[in-house]
Structure 1
Amino acid sequence: MATPSKWKRPRIAEHLCGDIFSHSLPHVSRLIDEFLIEGLHSDTLKEACEQGAPVSDLDFVLARCAPSWDDVVKSAAKGGYVHVFQWMEGLENMRGPWGFVDGWEGASKYGHVDVVKWMYERGYPCRDAKEAMRCAAANGHFEVVKFYHKKLEFVAGSAASGGQFEVLRWLQMAGASLDHVFKDAVRGGCMNCAKLVCEESTQPPAKDVSIWAAITGKLEMIKWLYEEVRAPFDNNTMDTAASHGHLDVVKWLHENRFEGCSTDAMDGAARYGHLETVKWLHHNRSEGCTIRAMNETAANGHLEVVKWLSANRSEGCTKYAMDPAGGGHLEVVQWLHEHRSEGCTTKAMDAAAKNGHLQVVQWLHTNRSEDCTAEAMNRASQKGHLKIVRWLGKNRPEGCTKWAFSCAASKGHLEIVKWLHEHRAEGCTTRAMDTAAAHGHLQVVQWLHTNRSEGCTVKAMSWAVEFGNLDVVRWLHDNRSEG
């Protein structure tokens, strides 16, 4: 169990005005601290989480530092305060920490069974159940060990998917049910684990167990599922094996099973560049492929597969082949231009501009007639590709919209904001300063204030407060009237 919080928030007001002022007017004291304390060391958040600071103080510290979330989670696990983990979970759509994989071992090592229970109930994965249990046992935390023992099936699933046979066998001997971990064992690719689970389980194999074996590409596992387990197979098994390039599995299924495959097999193999698998399917199976094969392998830049499909298959492709290839695969674009007649659409140059591929943009401009749209400069501005924005402005007539300015501002691309201001007439809206403030780009906010007349709305301060950008809040308060 976590001890009462020992956390003391960094304070300036009480040093300036004395303890009596701080205790008698705590709300005023806090406002003074918020105004005067502009930055804190990243270790401060680690200390706050480890010592169980209240949520209001956690927010206060987070707004003033740039933490390493892996270290923060480890510190929180050491401290063992559930409310700290709940606070971090609430941040997952904004600033972090995006998972508590490092929390299990720490909470187990320091005996915080409440944190262990909370992570289990919330469904957070345990990277190494064996190590987590070992940490609890080695440090004498019996309550944690007992919890793990009650949840042996959960631990067994982790052991099976991780190929930890000795741990799995120990869990089974300790009373863990293995009824629902067969898929985990197959997915982990450990034959000994899979055989143990199969021997002890009272449940029939799941319908998709052969598909998981096909993903791993373990031919021995596939044979065993067929010969000993009598697991269900369907054409998705060969489709999956082909998509992952496991040609030996594809061949075995072809020779020993009757389900065959679908066009998804060659489509998938082509998509991921498995040329030898594509060739084998072409010569030995009759299902063929669809236009997705060339479209998607082109999109992924697999030029040799594109060439082979064009020479040996009749399905061809569509404009979609060159459109996403415009995202950077210049050799594929050039080959399609020279050897295919489908062409492309404006999406090709738009995509190349968005993803920062200036050479592709220039080549399409010189060699193709489809042109682009205002989305090219809009998206290049959003992504911060100043060279492309400049080039498009000089060489293309499409221009952009007000959206380009707003997006560049929201992402903090000040140099692009300046260029658009100096070279384009589209301008912007209040959304530019509003979103720049929301994302904490104070320099952009200040520049817009000085150089543009659109201003902002009350959203600027509201969003800056919501996302903890207090330097922006202070500046808006001092320099803008919107409130």
Structure 2
Amino acid sequence: MARGAGEPSAKRAKVDEADEEEDPLVRIRKGVVRLLEKASANISFIAREAIAFAFPFTLCADFEAKNEKLFRRLPPELWQKIVDENLHPNDLVALAMTCRFFREKQKDLGKKMVTDLTSDHLCDLRKSGRMPSHSMGWFQWVCDTFEFLPGFNWSYGSPGITPTWLMRRVKGAVHEGDLLNYAVFQGSIEILRWLVEEKGWEPNPETDQWAGLGGSIEVLEYLWETGNLGIWGGEREHEFTRDVCAGAARGGHLEALKWARSQDPPFPWYEETCTNAAAGGHLNVLRFLRAQDPPCPWGWLTCAWAAKGGHLDILKWARSQDPPCPWNEWSCANAARRGHLDVLKWLRRVDPPCPWDERTCQKAAKGGHLEVLKWARSEDLPCPWNSETCAEAAAKGRMEILKWLRRQDPPCPWNSETCTRAAKGGHLEILKWARSEDPPCPWDSTTCVWAAKGGHLDILKWARSEDPPCPWDSTTCVWAAKGGHLEILKFARGQDPPCPWDRRTCYSAAQGGHLDVLKWARSQDPPCPWREGTCFRAAAEGHLDVLKWARSQDPPCPWDEMTCAYAARRGHLEALKFARGQDPPCPWDRRTCFVAATEGHLELLKWARSQDPPCPWSRHWCREQASEYGHRHIIDWIDQQEDESDAEYRESNDSDSDRSYDSSGDESF
């Protein structure tokens, strides 16, 4: 029971009063105030100002002392209940900033003070009834308290096709467009007008989808009338208003969807509109979409997402149409991933049955759904499986499932990926069991790589202690360095023979900002090799301390134009200033201005062009990139410049440089 919980109120009040008198912070504050009052008649104006400045801090000490006394009476489980049931996840940051006690309490509860503004998260909150309506005051507080990058930066493309640097946002960065889209989703026209008309923030290519997700016709009308829907590359394109329909379908906002289609010309729609309606479980929306003339198009993703959400009613209706909605193996795989056995049974019982393949067993193992696996394999024509099924079970630490898979006749196949995934997840017991089988599960150097990357020293030691030891290569040191796992790196290099390393170890340490790792690597005899990649990866992540140290060595770590370009890409102006302020300065070329314009870093672009001589650029190229990514502030500034110079671009083809793609997972631009 909490202290004082069973005491009479009068007695408890006396105890509380005594506690207040005994609190050291409160006693110190009162003493300071008395001394200041006695001296106030004889002190100068400057001293009076000092008192006025110091007084609020004494009050803060008073309040925090009372918080410590009162709030600590609540047991941890009650704090957990208060936070879980009454606090919106996106308000954790605001609560933590209120006082030290709240900040520490959230850490005790294991809460991550991260604002999640992703559409899936906000839609789930709204569906669960936990989506609050933030006031104008909240938005004003956020704008006054936090720093936002101008414009909007978004990721697009396909992994393996689109270069990594085009798909990746600045880590932890929040742009003006993020908050504007949140206001659009919330549906407050007052807040939206304030952001657009008073703050001067501009809608962006994702605003259309957020407006549809929010479902406010008033917001949609405002954006449409002000020319802020269908924006692409800084220009209005009617084709891109299709995201309004897709967003409205995802949110289940039938009236908003009808409004969009009633415009002249109607807002376009496409297969994703039906897919989103199915994913959200909105059968009424899907019926409306397909009842139009011509109907909204659909494809196999409609059934796949309905199965993933367990929306059997949508699946039945979609397949009852003439012609039925198409489907493929992903419907069964998605049902298995989420453990929707009833959906999977229906999919396989209809005539003809929905096709399935190895992905059904893979996803069931990944989700930990043993009953789904057993049913799938018990059918007259068992669902096929492959080695990926065991790998998925190992990755998630599903020992029961993995054992069941290997006890079948014949057993589910496995390969080195099973050991690799176990090491990646830190599942030592699974790794030991897999290697104890007869014959043992195979492994290769990626097992050590993933153990090092995850910081799992126990796994790495065990793997290397086996007879024969698990193989390793230089990539083990690369990922240990990138993760800042110095003890793993020391262990790897302390073996006989030591684990090999190369220049990637240094630039991975620099990329992760792990100066202690980099210092240790360079202090060895012989030192770990390094090249230009160390500097430009430090600059890319804004690790100025790493960059300064690397250049202070004798001889200094080499650098080239990529150092300035990567600093500009991520908006790290201080790193760029340092690089150019050296004697001789770090070289740069027009890629510095190019990436600054692409990412919307106006202050950095201004500074680069203000130097003597200015950083080379292609005016046309920079403007084109700013336009493509919707950075109106960059376009306006470029148009105001009188300098018409245009640098000639020469691309490097040095295949042996640190710019090339390598196993550390980074790409050049």
TM value normalised by structure 1: 0.73
**422, 428, 437: which one aligns with 2:581:** 422
Point out where structure 2 has 5 or more consecutive residues left out of the alignment: 1-175, 190-195, 235-239, 646-669
Deviation at 1:345, TM superposition (A): 0.9
Deviation at 1:189, TM superposition (A): 1.0
Partner of 1:355: 512
| 2:333 counterpart of 1:183 | yes
Partner of 2:521: 364
Structure 2 distance, partners of 1:266, 1:99, is: 43
Deviation at 1:298, TM superposition (A): 1.4
Is the alpha carbon distance of 1:334 and 1:99 closer, same or farther for their aligned partners in structure 2, counting shifts above 3 Å? Answer: farther
Amino acid at match of 1:378: F
Amino acid at match of 1:75: A
| 2:223 counterpart of 1:73 | no
Structure 2 distance, partners of 1:90, 1:228, is: 53
Question: 1:33-112 maps to which residues of 2 (within 5 A)?
Answer: 42=180, 65=201, 67=203, 72-76=208-212, 78=215, 87=230, 102-104=247-249, 105-112=251-258
Q: Which structure is higher in helix share?
A: 1
Deviation string for 1:245-286 (max 9, x for gaps)?
A: 221111112112314322222232223322111111111242
Deviation string for 1:127-152 (max 9, x for gaps)?
A: 76464234x49xxxx74473699969
Deviation at 1:343, TM superposition (A): 2.9
Structure 2 distance, partners of 1:462, 1:235, is: 47
- Contact 2:566/2:592, CA 8 A, preserved across alignment: yes
Deviation at 1:322, TM superposition (A): 0.7
Q: Counterpart of 2:494 in 1: which secondary structure?
A: helix
Amino acid at match of 1:203: P
Structure 1 distance, partners of 2:321, 2:506, is: 62
- Contact 2:204/2:232, CA 8 A, preserved across alignment: no
Structure 1 distance, partners of 2:417, 2:299, is: 39
| 2:449 counterpart of 1:299 | no
- Contact 1:165/1:193, CA 8 A, preserved across alignment: yes
Partner of 2:291: 146
Question: 1:9-408 maps to which residues of 2 (within 5 A)?
Answer: 42=180, 65=201, 67=203, 72-76=208-212, 78=215, 87=230, 102-104=247-249, 105-112=251-258, 114=261, 119-122=269-272, 125-126=275-276, 129=279, 131-134=281-284, 136=285, 143-144=288-289, 146=291, 156-165=303-312, 180=328, 181-203=331-353, 205-208=355-358, 209-229=360-380, 230-259=382-411, 260-286=413-439, 287-314=441-468, 315-328=470-483, 329-339=485-495, 341-367=498-524, 369-395=527-553, 397-408=556-567
Amino acid at match of 2:643: S
Structure 2 distance, partners of 1:313, 1:203, is: 49
Deviation at 1:351, TM superposition (A): 0.9
Partner of 1:11: none
Structure 2 distance, partners of 1:117, 1:193, is: 34
Deviation at 1:303, TM superposition (A): 1.7
Deviation at 1:404, TM superposition (A): 1.3
Structure 2 distance, partners of 1:215, 1:240, is: 5
Is the alpha carbon distance of 1:124 and 1:444 closer, same or farther for their aligned partners in structure 2, counting shifts above 3 Å? Answer: farther
Structure 1 distance, partners of 2:577, 2:307, is: 56
Structure 1 distance, partners of 2:257, 2:533, is: 55
Deviation at 1:349, TM superposition (A): 0.9
Structure 1 distance, partners of 2:640, 2:334, is: 58
Amino acid at match of 1:362: K
- Contact 1:242/1:265, CA 8 A, preserved across alignment: yes
| 2:619 counterpart of 1:458 | yes
Structure 2 distance, partners of 1:272, 1:109, is: 46
Partner of 1:12: none
Please say which of residues 186-195 and 449-458 is displaced more in the overlay.
Answer: 449-458
Point out where structure 1 has 5 or more consecutive residues left out of the alignment: 1-38, 52-59
Structure 2 distance, partners of 1:165, 1:227, is: 22
Name the Cα RMSD after superposition: 4.4
Please say which of residues 119-128 and 322-331 is displaced more in the overlay.
Answer: 119-128
Deviation at 1:479, TM superposition (A): 4.6
Deviation at 1:348, TM superposition (A): 0.5
Deviation string for 1:305-326 (max 9, x for gaps)?
A: 1111111252321121111211
Deviation at 1:154, TM superposition (A): 5.9
Is the alpha carbon distance of 1:71 and 1:292 closer, same or farther for their aligned partners in structure 2, counting shifts above 3 Å? Answer: same
Structure 1 distance, partners of 2:306, 2:424, is: 33
Structure 1 distance, partners of 2:241, 2:514, is: 32
- Contact 1:177/1:201, CA 8 A, preserved across alignment: no
Is the alpha carbon distance of 1:247 and 1:103 closer, same or farther for their aligned partners in structure 2, counting shifts above 3 Å? Answer: same
Deviation at 1:370, TM superposition (A): 1.7
Please say which of residues 338-347 and 178-187 is displaced more in the overlay.
Answer: 178-187
The number of residues matched between the two structures is 426
Amino acid at match of 2:482: G
Is the alpha carbon distance of 1:45 and 1:251 closer, same or farther for their aligned partners in structure 2, counting shifts above 3 Å? Answer: closer
Is the alpha carbon distance of 1:348 and 1:120 closer, same or farther for their aligned partners in structure 2, counting shifts above 3 Å? Answer: same
Please say which of residues 412-421 and 441-450 is displaced more in the overlay.
Answer: 441-450
Structure 2 distance, partners of 1:179, 1:434, is: 44
Is the alpha carbon distance of 1:69 and 1:475 closer, same or farther for their aligned partners in structure 2, counting shifts above 3 Å? Answer: closer
Deviation at 1:422, TM superposition (A): 1.9
Deviation at 1:373, TM superposition (A): 1.0
- Contact 1:46/1:72, CA 8 A, preserved across alignment: no
Structure 2 distance, partners of 1:283, 1:219, is: 23
- Contact 1:185/1:197, CA 8 A, preserved across alignment: no
Deviation at 1:123, TM superposition (A): 7.1
Partner of 1:3: none
Percent same amino acid among aligned pairs?
Answer: 20
Q: Counterpart of 1:342 in 2: which secondary structure?
A: coil
Please say which of residues 230-239 and 166-175 is displaced more in the overlay.
Answer: 166-175
Structure 1 distance, partners of 2:515, 2:591, is: 28
Is the alpha carbon distance of 1:386 and 1:98 closer, same or farther for their aligned partners in structure 2, counting shifts above 3 Å? Answer: farther
- Contact 2:535/2:558, CA 8 A, preserved across alignment: yes
- Contact 1:374/1:400, CA 8 A, preserved across alignment: yes
Structure 1 distance, partners of 2:210, 2:423, is: 43
Q: Counterpart of 2:276 in 1: which secondary structure?
A: coil
Amino acid at match of 1:370: C
Deviation at 1:346, TM superposition (A): 1.2
Amino acid at match of 1:288: P
Deviation at 1:232, TM superposition (A): 2.1
TM value normalised by structure 2: 0.54
Structure 2 distance, partners of 1:250, 1:317, is: 25
Is the alpha carbon distance of 1:130 and 1:391 closer, same or farther for their aligned partners in structure 2, counting shifts above 3 Å? Answer: closer
Amino acid at match of 2:475: Y
- Contact 2:310/2:340, CA 8 A, preserved across alignment: yes
Deviation string for 1:185-235 (max 9, x for gaps)?
A: 222212222222222242374221222222222111111112235222334
Is the alpha carbon distance of 1:473 and 1:108 closer, same or farther for their aligned partners in structure 2, counting shifts above 3 Å? Answer: closer
Q: Counterpart of 2:559 in 1: which secondary structure?
A: coil
Amino acid at match of 1:458: R
Structure 2 distance, partners of 1:433, 1:70, is: 25
- Contact 2:419/2:442, CA 8 A, preserved across alignment: yes
